[in-house]
Structure 1
Amino acid sequence: MKQLVSCVLLGTLGLATACHQKAEVEEAKAFMMSDTMMNRIRLDTVLNQPVRSELTLVGKVAADESKVIKVFPLVGGVVEEVDVELGDFVKKGQQLAIIRSGEVADFERQMIQAQSDLLLAQKNLSVAEDLFESKLNSQREVVAARKDVETAQAELSRVKEIFQIYGLGKTPTYTVRAPIDGFVIEKNVNRDMQLRSDNADNLFTVGQISDVWVLANVNESDIGRVKAGMPASVQTLSYPDQRFNGKVDKIFSVLDPGTKAMTIRIRLQNEGMKLKPEMHATVALRFDEGDQMATVPSNAVIFDNSKYYVMVFRSRSDVETRPVQVHKFLGDIAYINAGLKPGEKVISKNQLLVYDALND
């Protein structure tokens, strides 16, 4: 009797186990990703990468000093006309302002005087040479006349050089022109302003901002982490969703006595002229910690029930929900301590749809 009961129980357990295994196989076979779903997901490969950390700094955008020129008035006078405003783009040689000046009028007088003196000296030389040929004067008088011509020519050349340097014409006005192509980033002049001849203030500052600098402060405790050539990512308040990428161009090895911070410089290409001098900037510097770890896109990680999961893809009918240990997230990268091996495929787009289908 006991043997009969034992056989019945064993048969029942075997049947139950067989039924359970059959149900699992049928469930596994029942899951199959459709063509539509395959087109909606994205697969990424698990990569072994150096572990990196991020240092966040605060800074500001500045114009490249090697491409910034201050425009000073070369003469004193009264400003008759101002043709540009702050922020305007100007071409090299473009008129910025006009100054009516007594100094320019004096230069014009000097030009007329120098031309007259040269004509007179040339006539005197011609007369001296004619008299010398007629034996009516000496060689010394001819030499003196030639010296007077050379002196007059030198004076005329000096005045012409002044006209060329100042860009003067035939009117008693001085035209302020742009020295380079660029934007007017500073303007300190208005119409009818009186300028002294010894004025030391610039009227305009013209700068090219196709390339700009970002000057950022590094705390004393972080100085050892910063190296020249480090990749840098810059964000601004004006364009919060856009990252501007560059490199640490220079490290100023001097600490500010007030803030105890060191300044670094990041050079950026200013595409679309979006970055303007004096903009607030947040700088992110990434550096290697020395270890390597498996990485996946941050979007591939699912957080559910206080645990992290990724969807490991082998085939459209073989997708595994695998728990993982996340070391940390850095931007669009997740560093995985355990649970994944390099070379495995994970779903990094619309993975929640697959997760819900397998786990609900």
Structure 2
Amino acid sequence: MKRILVVLAFWAMGCENQPQQEKRKSFCLDENFKNKIEFYTTRLEEVVEGTHLTGSIIANPEKVVEYRPLWEGTVVKTYFTLGDKVSKGQLLAEIRSTEGNTLQATLSSLESRIKAAERKKENLKHLLADGMASQTELEEAIADLEVLKSEKVRAQTESKWNHSQEGYFKVYAPTSGVVTEKSINIGEQVVAGGEPMFVISDLEDLWLMLNIYASNVQRIQEGMEVSISTLSFPGELFSGRITKISPAFDEDARVLKARSTFENRGGKLKPGMTVDVTAWKKAGESAVAVPVSALVFSDNQYYVLVHHSDCKVEVRKVEIAVKNKEKAYLSGGLSEGEKIISKNQLLVFEAL
């Protein structure tokens, strides 16, 4: 009697499992599934290792102009606001000051002193040839002349961008770009050598400054390609290349600084933004690669869904050798040319 009951129990269990097994065997990708998923054909690719870095966007320091007043006065008019695009020679402000005549007098004085210094230099040349002067005296005269010429250039530059008329200075933009800082308002006093009145930056030429921590120094080299992402544009990547690595460690920040150029599509990246960066290094070997988005992680193992046909989808375990944000390079589990589900594979995985 007991033997009969045991047989009946196994028979009942078999009947319960049979519909589920038939369901698994009969699973097919219908049109609803196929409209939601995407496929990817595996191929051999050169293994590329990614190293995560942080960084920030800055304006090229060589194309940032700080404009400091070289005289005292009162701001009476401004013709720009923060963020304005300005052109070289554009009128930006008017300053009431009595130092315009002083500037012109300085230029006249410098021209006279330069002429006298040139005559002195020529005389010393003749005296040196006659043995009446020393080489040191001639070199000192030449140095004095160069100093005067430098002072004249500075005064001419000041005069060029600060036109004086009837007690007013008109301030013109010394370069083209975007006003990234403005510190003057109507009625305020400006002081010679004081804070910059404004800063003009060329935002068409930006730098990405990277922070390389000590643990990553050996992995980063000049010429490496980088991918740049920011919270301001989620899901969007910008491409760049490391062009310069500092030879000295920044002791305050405890990082090695590096500079990268990058493609700033649509001018989306702005100075002051912090970004996440992945630096790519080719390992010199190839492996079967799959998109990271195609992986299924379950029970501490990675799987992919291999598509043989719409009614034959295989869940297959894979071994990952190297993985970065975009690709996983496999050491086992898949061969080149196999077709896998690379989007919404979890929907299929749960249905199998």
2:97 to 98, 101, 110: 101
**In structure 2, what is the Cα distance between the partners aligned to 1:57 and 1:352?**
31
Equivalence for 1:334: 328
Does residue 192 in structure 1 map to residue 187 in structure 2?
yes
Higher alpha-carbon deviation: 337-346 or 202-211 = 202-211
| SS class of match (2:160) | helix
Offset of residue 35 of structure 1: 4.3
- The residue correspondences of 1:110-149 to structure 2 (distance < 5 A) are none
Equivalence for 1:273: 267
Equivalence for 2:167: 172
**In structure 2, what is the Cα distance between the partners aligned to 1:58 and 1:266?**
12
- The residue correspondences of 1:204-243 to structure 2 (distance < 5 A) are 204-243=198-237
Equivalence for 1:303: 297
- Unaligned stretches of 5+ in structure 1? 1-22, 112-160
- Unaligned stretches of 5+ in structure 2? 1-18, 108-155
Equivalence for 1:87: 83
Equivalence for 2:247: 253
Higher alpha-carbon deviation: 162-171 or 273-282 = 162-171
Offset of residue 223 of structure 1: 2.0
**In structure 2, what is the Cα distance between the partners aligned to 1:289 and 1:249?**
20
Task: Decide whether the 8 Å contact of 2:74 with 2:188 is kept in 1.
Answer: yes
Offset of residue 206 of structure 1: 0.2
Does residue 70 in structure 1 map to residue 66 in structure 2?
yes
Task: Decide whether the 8 Å contact of 1:163 with 1:169 is kept in 2.
Answer: no
Task: Decide whether the 8 Å contact of 2:49 with 2:323 is kept in 1.
Answer: no
| SS class of match (2:316) | strand
Over alpha carbons, which structure has the higher Rg? 1
AA at the equivalent of 2:263:
Q
Task: Decide whether the 8 Å contact of 2:161 with 2:174 is kept in 1.
Answer: no
- 1:129-169: CA deviations, max 9, x gaps? xxxxxxxxxxxxxxxxxxxxxxxxxxxxxxxx789724536
TM-score when normalising by structure 1: 0.68
**In structure 2, what is the Cα distance between the partners aligned to 1:72 and 1:278?**
23
AA at the equivalent of 1:188:
S
| SS class of match (1:168) | strand
Task: Decide whether the 8 Å contact of 1:61 with 1:275 is kept in 2.
Answer: yes
Equivalence for 1:344: 338
Task: Decide whether the 8 Å contact of 1:46 with 1:343 is kept in 2.
Answer: yes
**In structure 1, what is the Cα distance between the partners aligned to 2:335 and 2:158?**
76
| SS class of match (1:192) | coil
| SS class of match (2:196) | coil
The percentage of aligned residue pairs carrying the same residue is 33
| SS class of match (1:285) | strand
Aligned pairs, number: 286
Offset of residue 340 of structure 1: 0.2
| SS class of match (2:203) | coil
Task: Decide whether the 8 Å contact of 2:59 with 2:201 is kept in 1.
Answer: yes
**In structure 2, what is the Cα distance between the partners aligned to 1:71 and 1:263?**
28
Considering only aligned residues, what root-mean-square deviation do their CA atoms show, in Å? 3.4
TM-score when normalising by structure 2: 0.69
Offset of residue 290 of structure 1: 3.8
1:49 to 45, 52, 66: 45
